[in-house]
Amino acid sequence: MATDAPSPFTSAKACVFDAYGTLFDVHSAIRRGGEELGEKAEIVSELWRQKQLEYTWLRSLMSAHVDFWQVTSDSLDFALSASGTNNAALHRKLMELYLTLDAYPEVKETLKKLKMAGLTTAILSNGNPGMLEAAVTSAGLDAVLDQVLSVEDVGIYKPDARVYQLAVDRLAIPKAMICFLSSNGWDARGAAHFGFTVAWINRFNREPDRIPGDIKATIRRLDELPPLLGLK
């Protein structure tokens, strides 16, 4: 009699998470501090995120690395200027709010469940160490994360393979036994191409990217992960 194939996630010893857009809501800064943008707020927030990602890719290709704080500032400057808003005080306020982004509501309890099951938990992010420390502390995730890893240790952004290798080296766990999660489709594909077992958190029903990388599961929220791992 036929049986369901075993989940590729059940052999995982560690769960590694992207930070921005995956654990932390990147649009919460403008929701909390962009009231003076009025009807432009959503457009500015989307453009800020779009340029933030584009600049990481372009700087990696140009061998012109700066840390994610600078990238985030440059992309916000672009988004505000493109909307006709040149306001230095607003720029400063939104950058400060980016240090305390809201975590998605299911994140803390899900990470706690993974830790209680004996899995290693870690962040692997484009963010620099100071940004990540501030966000993790603000969201109260310190106790449910074993490590917080930044691309600054390799000096290039995702999806470069050296970034994903950083998790293998620091956790001392084979890549096939690392479950990786990202809400960014390109990051999920990049991690899968590297060799992680990947679940894409497709929170907003995005179209899948047409690039290499075999994603093993697509979920809508982080709390859909434990069943994939064989946890109740």
Residue 157 main-chain phi, psi, to 5 deg: -95, 160
Q: What is the pLDDT of residues 157-184, one digit of tens each?
A: 999 999 999 999 999 999 999 999 999 9
For residues 168 and 149, the answer to whether their CB atoms sit within 8 Å is no
142 counts as catalytic: no
User: What is the CA 85 to chain-centroid distance, rounded?
Assistant: 28
Measure the CA–CA gap between 145 and 170, rounded to whole angstroms: 14
Is residue 12 within 8 Å of residue 229, measured between CB atoms? yes
Contact 186, 209 (CB under 8 A): yes
CATH no. of 14-25+102-228: 3.40.50.1000
Parts of the chain belonging to CATH 1.10.150.240: 28-98
Q: Which of 113, 145, 174 is nearest to 19 (CA)?
A: 145
What pLDDT, on a 0 to 100 scale, did the predictor assign at position 4?
A: 62
pLDDT tens sequence across 108-164: 999 999 999 999 999 999 999 999 999 999 999 999 999 999 999 999 999 999 999
Task: State the Cα–Cα distance between residues 46 and 211, nearest whole angstrom.
Answer: 23
Annotated catalytic residue within 18, 25, 102, 187: 18
175 with 194: CB under 8 angstroms? Answer: yes
CATH 3.40.50.1000-classified regions of the chain: 14-25+102-228
How many Cβ atoms from other residues are within 10 Å of residue 204's Cβ? 8
pLDDT exceeds 50 at position 2 = no
44: which 2 tokens?
Answer: 């500015």
Burial (CB < 10 A; 0-12, 13-18, 19+), residue 143, is exposed
Q: Which fold has domain 28-98?
A: DNA polymerase; domain 1 (1.10.150)
Give the Cα separation of 171 and 5 in Å (integer).
Answer: 28
Task: Give the number of residues written for the chain.
Answer: 232
What is the DSSP annotation of 2-63? Answer: --PPPPTTTT-SEEEE--BTTTB-TTHHHHHH-GGGGGGHHHHHHHHHHHHHHHHHHHHHHT
Q: Would you state the pLDDT for residue 220?
A: 96
1 pLDDT band, cuts 50/70/90, is: very low
Please give the pLDDT value at position 6.
72
